[in-house]
Amino acid sequence: MSYCTKTDYDELNIPELPIGNGCLRQNEDGTISVYRSDKSFSEIREENLKVLQNKFDEIRDSRVSRYDQHRKINCLIGYMLENLEKSNVKVVDETDNVEKQRQLLEKEKKFLDEQERVLRSNEDSDLVAKYRKETSEKRNNELNTKFTIYVTMIIVFLIIEGIVFFV
């Protein structure tokens, strides 16, 4: 949306979007200029309003026809509206981007929680496997010992029986 065919107000260099202690301004070639200041946003806004007010006063005090004055004032107002529109679009885009990033973070947090749960269950299963291995070895040794004692008792019983019946 352009209010003037060729704007004379680009030299005003009004920033479009406040960021931290400064502002960004997108140039016509697509590059972004950074306007930094140690002033607060309200002080920067007041400076920008003064620049626009001075430009308005300059147009109003100029010795041109009423038609040219109205055209230039209309162009200045159009410049301010375009600046506001660009700022709002960028704020909306940034807000949408922040919301998308927040959703992505929530998704990744859920994934990490799930992976942590899996790791904990695997840790428990490792403990169960270790317990089973230890108890199976212990049980095997115990069974081997009992089997050896049982076979030894049978052999001893057979020897005693042989001595009693053959004598």
pLDDT value at residue 150? 94
Q: Which amino acid is at 97?
A: N
Residue 126 covered by a domain: no
* Residue 1, pLDDT above cutoff 50: no
Q: What is the pLDDT of residues 11-49, one digit of tens each?
A: 666 665 555 545 666 667 767 666 666 666 677 678 778
Cα separations in angstroms, 48 against 35, 135, 144: 12, 81, 94
Nearest to 81 by CA among 16, 24, 12, 8: 16
Q: Which residue has the tokens 């929530």?
A: 106
How is residue 111 written in tokens?
Answer: 């994934």
Q: State residue 62 phi and psi, 5-degree precision.
A: -70, 155
Residue 141 covered by a domain: no
CA–CA distance, 2 with 86 (Å, rounded to integer): 12
Residue 40 covered by a domain: yes
pTM attached to this predicted model: 0.42
Q: What is the pLDDT of residues 142-158, one digit of tens each?
A: 889 999 999 999 999 99
Query: Quick check: 22 and 37 in contact, CB under 8 A?
Result: yes
CA–CA distance, 139 with 106 (Å, rounded to integer): 49
How is residue 16 written in tokens?
Answer: 């479009």
Per the structure, how many domains does the chain have? 1
Residue 107 covered by a domain: yes
Residue 33 covered by a domain: yes
Domain ranges, residue 22: 10-116
pLDDT value at residue 119? 75
Residue 75 covered by a domain: yes
Residue 54 covered by a domain: yes
* Residue 88, pLDDT above cutoff 80: no
